[in-house]
Structure 1
Amino acid sequence: MDAIKNKVQQVLNPTSGNGKTVLVTGGSGFVAAHVLNSFLSRDYNVRTTVRSQQTAEKVKKSHEKDLDRLSFAIVPDVATPGGHDEAVKGVDGVIHTASPFVLQVEDNERDLLRPTIDGTSSVLTSIQKHNSTVKRVVITSSFAAIIDMDKGARSGYTYTEKDWNPVTYEAASNKESPGPVSYCASKTFAEQAAYDFVAKNKPNFNVSSICPPMVYGPAAHSIDSLDKLNTSSADIYRLMNGSEKTVPDTNFFAWVDVRDVGEAHVKAYESSEAAGQRYFTTAGGYTYNQICEIILKNFPELKGRVPEPKEEKFPDVYGVSNEKARKELGMSFIDLETSIVDQVKEFLALEKRSKA
């Protein structure tokens, strides 16, 4: 344990800002970078965990204007017991975003299930042991923890926060289980583990969870290469880089802009009503066909690179409701066209930079 603690390099926050400090785990991630922005824009001090000093330097680069209120704790492995012991000390709240978002892995249990579940349990245990002043922890969960994938398109049904993915651990850990099934399971079990932890251990803090579906929009983190995009950004870039010759089938018919996900975390953190609540933060339904239409409408010069959209109605699939997030968190949501246009502009700028 001492060896692990020695690897955790703690840098205390400065005393500027509103005097409140939150810890955001996994600060280099696509969603986490926007969570950082949302807290920093409200004048919080933010401490964030990263795996290495090299990653910390990347986060500094993407958040240069806020370095007086941004500091780092290096946690090489999010799932290591005690790995967050130093990081949680002295903060007023914790936002836990760090977990794998990959759909194809070698070993479902080793690469998805255990890191996600154990990472959540590790953070909560560290808070309970080393910080009695934290009152609110916000967990980044997912629509993956809501949807029942066995029900397929589920025409006529509307998913809400009341729904839980019914997948079993046995099915998800099976080596033959598809990656998306195991990913959805990992988010389900991790979110449930958080609420179970509170019920069992009765800590001084309560938990809220944010459940976004597919997350699109412009990045706030450093992107080294268009070949190394995060999973959801790569999902959009493939529709404009010429690699897809026809419009691919849509698998998840719900989406949200990443900037709204960042805002939802702050609103859940600040709201007393959000204690013990989960929030389905979705802007609504979408298809890849709609995205291709948006790209070609706004960037006609990309014709030939973008799959030709089909003339079709929105498919007869499940609906999604963001009523609770709108009512209790005061959320409003960026529309699909705005989100995709902003993201494509970013990709084009990255392409231009890479050719310079």
Structure 2
Amino acid sequence: MSAVQAAKDLAATATSSITNLVNGAKLPQNQTILISGASGFVAAHVLNSFLQRGYNVRGTVRSEATAEKVKQTHSKYLKQLSFAIVKDVAVPGAFDEAVKDVDGVVHTASPFVMDVEDNERDLLNPAVKGTTEILKAIKKNNPIVKRVVITSSFAALVDLSQGTRVGYTYTEADWNPVTWDEAKTGPGGVAYCASKVFAEKAAYEFVEKEKPNFTISTICPPMIYGPIAQSVTDLSRLNTSAADIYRLFNGTTKEVPATEFPAYADVRDVGEAHVRAYESVGAAQQRYFITGGNMSYREICEIIREVPEVKEKVPQAAPGSKEPEVYKVSNAKATKELGMTFIPLRQCIIDTVHSLLKVEQSVGK
């Protein structure tokens, strides 16, 4: 960890404690936060953000074996960690036991796949039911919970039918207008984006109709890159966004790919946004677009080429070629309301590459 990052973490922890004292809330060390899908790429950093502030974390995992892997990757926080087994997040009552006796909930678990046999069965229903089931469980079993933070996505903002939408700036005010019927029969990318928008809308509708004791905040990042903090034992089973970067320097990609979603977030910023949204009184019933800005695969490849070990394997764009103009993205709301600062693309990608090289050394190619 750099000195600058250490200073930021210390300042964030101090601010967190002061905020809790001013609001009369429990201090972090006296709170337990349930984090669903604890073994995932994003969840691993969400865990870090809460644990380093002193919170206790109960993570949901599908098996004891997975819990052991999370313990290994977060070994310095073992006294603060516990687990609940939830084999299928979409099953009614799946979270009933997991939510008991916790102070807050962060829901990160949702399918991130594009290639499925049945869009409705494999993507849409699991995303929506996974979200609504955890909210039902909290309302039914734990009236103490006052705040729930849900991981959504830029996929819930972007209008795919508008293409590159030159001159437009996406913000939290945007909603993906895709319909359920379009998502059922459309390609995997459309169905995935739809699963995020339907799940997020279902969460806000639940709070509006059911009027539970808790409020929600949703976090909407685009392509998420950054160092790996979860357990990886097989390079062929990398999470989607890590694999997206790995293919650019492992020799399998010969040309710079087209950029379909030209915006990024660093996973460490995404983790930080979850804890800030949880702690902020003003974040109730608010969504936050967490992004470091625009990016292209051309830029990413140029950055990766700065790493000597992999330089010769990275594809290069044709001389004189230019990236097409695309929409812009705004993180102004998260900057103002959550006090976020964002990791630049270069640092994000360099750190991602170094992280993947370490995994490569530890598991073998």
Give the TM-score taking structure 2 as reference length.
0.91
Q: 1:299 aligns with which of 307, 312, 319?
A: 307
What is the SS of the residue equivalent to 2:33?
strand
**Counterpart in the other structure of 2:14:** none
Q: State the 1:299 CA deviation.
A: 1.5
Q: State the 1:225 CA deviation.
A: 1.3
**Counterpart in the other structure of 2:56:** 45
Q: 2:236 aligns with which of 224, 227, 248?
A: 227
**Counterpart in the other structure of 2:203:** 194
Counting only pairs closer than 5 Å after superposition, residues 87-236 of structure 1 correspond to structure 2 as 87-174=98-185, 177-236=186-245
What is the SS of the residue equivalent to 1:273?
helix
Q: State the 1:65 CA deviation.
A: 0.5
Give the Cα separation in 1 of the matches to 2:138 and 2:269.
Answer: 27
What is the SS of the residue equivalent to 1:304?
helix
8 Å CA contact retained: 2:228, 2:356: no
**Counterpart in the other structure of 1:309:** 317
Q: State the 1:103 CA deviation.
A: 1.2
Q: State the 1:289 CA deviation.
A: 0.6
Report the aligned-residue RMSD.
Answer: 1.3
8 Å CA contact retained: 2:304, 2:311: no
Q: State the 1:312 CA deviation.
A: 4.2
What is the one-letter code of the residue matched to 1:125?
K
What is the one-letter code of the residue matched to 2:215?
N
Q: State the 1:314 CA deviation.
A: 4.4
Deviations 1:251-293 (A, max 9, x none): 0011000000000000000000000000000000000010100
What is the one-letter code of the residue matched to 2:310?
L
Give the Cα separation in 2 of the matches to 1:198 and 1:169.
Answer: 21
What is the SS of the residue equivalent to 2:30?
coil
Matched, 1:280 2:289: yes
8 Å CA contact retained: 1:135, 1:204: yes
Q: 2:246 aligns with which of 217, 233, 237?
A: 237
Q: State the 1:355 CA deviation.
A: 3.9
Matched, 1:65 2:88: no
Give the Cα separation in 1 of the matches to 2:310 and 2:74.
Answer: 31
Give the Cα separation in 2 of the matches to 1:57 and 1:302.
Answer: 33
Give the Cα separation in 1 of the matches to 2:361 and 2:209.
Answer: 53
Counting only pairs closer than 5 Å after superposition, residues 19-38 of structure 1 correspond to structure 2 as 19-38=30-49
Q: State the 1:179 CA deviation.
A: 0.5
Give the Cα separation in 2 of the matches to 1:201 and 1:105.
Answer: 33
Structure 2: gaps of 5 or more residues: 1-26
Deviations 1:215-267 (A, max 9, x none): 00001111111111001110110101111110010100110000000000000
**What count of residue pairs does the alignment treat as equivalent?**
338
Give the Cα separation in 2 of the matches to 1:354 and 1:86.
Answer: 36
Give the Cα separation in 2 of the matches to 1:21 and 1:249.
Answer: 43
* Segment of structure 1 superposing worse, 219-228 or 184-193: 219-228
Give the Cα separation in 2 of the matches to 1:312 and 1:262.
Answer: 36
Matched, 1:83 2:91: no
Give the Cα separation in 2 of the matches to 1:110 and 1:224.
Answer: 29
What is the SS of the residue equivalent to 2:29?
coil
**Counterpart in the other structure of 1:289:** 298
Give the Cα separation in 2 of the matches to 1:155 and 1:213.
Answer: 18
8 Å CA contact retained: 2:233, 2:363: no
What is the one-letter code of the residue matched to 2:299?
Q
What is the SS of the residue equivalent to 1:18?
helix
Deviations 1:71-123 (A, max 9, x none): 00000001111000000000111000000111111111111001000000000
Identity across aligned pairs (percent)? 62
Deviations 1:37-80 (A, max 9, x none): 00001000000100111111110110001010000000000111
Give the Cα separation in 2 of the matches to 1:308 and 1:65.
Answer: 41
Deviations 1:176-201 (A, max 9, x none): x1101000000000000000000000
Counting only pairs closer than 5 Å after superposition, residues 301-340 of structure 1 correspond to structure 2 as 301-310=309-318, 311-340=320-349
Give the Cα separation in 1 of the matches to 2:352 and 2:311.
Answer: 17
Structure 1: gaps of 5 or more residues: 1-15
8 Å CA contact retained: 1:17, 1:69: no
8 Å CA contact retained: 1:290, 1:309: no
Give the Cα separation in 2 of the matches to 1:49 and 1:303.
Answer: 39
